[in-house]
Amino acid sequence: MDAKAAASSLESLMSSFTARISDLQELVIARNMNPGKVTPDLSNIDAAVKAMEFQVQAIKNRIREEKAVIPKAKKLVELSLSQQRKLQHMLALLPPRLPGATGTGSNAGEYGMPKEKSVIDIVGKPLKLEEEPPPPKEKRGRGQAPRWYITNDELDSLSSYMRGRLTLDKVNSAINEMAVYAEANMQLVAAPRKKLSEDTLEKALELRDIGMSEAVKGKHFFLETDMKGAGLKLDNTGKAILTVLRHLGRIQEARIGHNRVIILTKP
């Protein structure tokens, strides 16, 4: 990624985050003027703050990825410069005319070689740069579940009866909870059997069977019965959130045995 573009993108995200914090502070001050509505509004503010924390974490992850690439790029530049110096040194040591070269026609170059011949043709194959070792394979069950948040435009595109009283922050907070459920299940599936307690062994075996099915294999998923969080539970609001996310393509559902399985999709 171009350094200026990356800096501009980061500045834009941080500016948006700062503006959102300012809006929330003003909202808290305004709402304190009406004590009867403070408690429910604070819940909405808490959900909004959590959603912004998730966005900040995504920014930090992106910065960490960009920083990890810098040493590799520097090493590649150093190797390229080293190769260039070697080629220039070889070129400086070449005699005016190579032994046995008699070409004097229009196709002959400065060293009696055909013009289309290059320094690489003279000295042999180009030097190979040291290949970077392949990145270690990600251990099964350790990968992050997708967190594909929705936008205001997507929420506004829904019909009013489907959207109901759902807010952008509430839905995105639920998306994060789904990812947490899915990651916990993947860790349980990947855990060695000897490290599982009697309480978790039965669920781990059940999750492994579900994970081997064609509809779920290789994807992050969680069960409907896992929905016990603050922002996503088995109530009318939770069901409405699932309906919205299924309509927007964030999740898929499958019935496997007696379980209702929710599968997370990627952008």
CA-based angle 183:242:256, to the nearest 5? Answer: 65
Taking residue 117's Cβ as centre, other Cβ atoms within 10 Å add up to 14
Kindly tell me if the per-residue pLDDT of 119 is higher than 50. Answer: no
Report the pLDDT value the prediction gives residue 65, as an integer from 0 to 100: 80
- Of 245, 185, 174, 242, which is closest to residue 219 (Cα–Cα)? 185
What three-state secondary structure class fits 263? strand
**What integer is the mean pLDDT of 15-44?**
69
Report the pLDDT value the prediction gives residue 105, as an integer from 0 to 100: 47
**What integer is the mean pLDDT of 235-261?**
92
pLDDT, averaged across the chain: 77
Instruction: Give the range among 74-88, 115-129, 147-161 with minimum mean pLDDT.
Output: 115-129
Say which residues have a Cβ less than 8 Å from residue 148's Cβ, sequence separation at least 6. 175, 250, 264, 265, 266, 267
Report the pLDDT value the prediction gives residue 5, as an integer from 0 to 100: 64
| Model pLDDT for residues 47-87, shown as the tens digit of each residue | 777 777 777 877 887 788 888 888 888 888 888 888 888 88
Kindly tell me if the per-residue pLDDT of 138 is higher than 50. Answer: no
Look at 130 and 72; give whichever has higher pLDDT: 72
Kindly tell me if the per-residue pLDDT of 16 is higher than 70. Answer: yes
| Model pLDDT for residues 218-243, shown as the tens digit of each residue | 899 999 989 888 778 888 999 999 99
The domain spans of the chain are: 3-93, 152-264
**What integer is the mean pLDDT of 91-100?**
63
Say which residues have a Cβ less than 8 Å from residue 162's Cβ, sequence separation at least 6. 240, 243, 244, 247
Look at 112 and 156; give whichever has higher pLDDT: 156
Contact 178, 262 (CB under 8 A): yes
Kindly tell me if the per-residue pLDDT of 122 is higher than 50. Answer: no
Contact 80, 65 (CB under 8 A): no
- Angstrom CA distances, 181 to 5, 53, 104, 151, stand at 35, 18, 77, 22
Verdict on whether the full-model pTM lies above 0.75: no
Give the pLDDT band (50/70/90) at residue 6: low
Contact 244, 162 (CB under 8 A): yes
Report the pLDDT value the prediction gives residue 140, as an integer from 0 to 100: 47
Report the pLDDT value the prediction gives residue 99, as an integer from 0 to 100: 54
The CATH number of the structural domain formed by 152-264 is 1.10.10.1890
Q: Report which DSSP code applies to 114.
A: B
Report the pLDDT value the prediction gives residue 110, as an integer from 0 to 100: 47
**Residue 267: exposed, middle, or buried by beta-carbon count in 10 A (0-12, 13-18, 19+)?**
exposed
Report the pLDDT value the prediction gives residue 42, as an integer from 0 to 100: 62
Look at 102 and 10; give whichever has higher pLDDT: 10
Look at 258 and 141; give whichever has higher pLDDT: 258
Measured over all CA atoms, what is the biggest interatomic distance in the chain, rounded to whole angstroms?
100
Q: Report which DSSP code applies to 257.
A: T
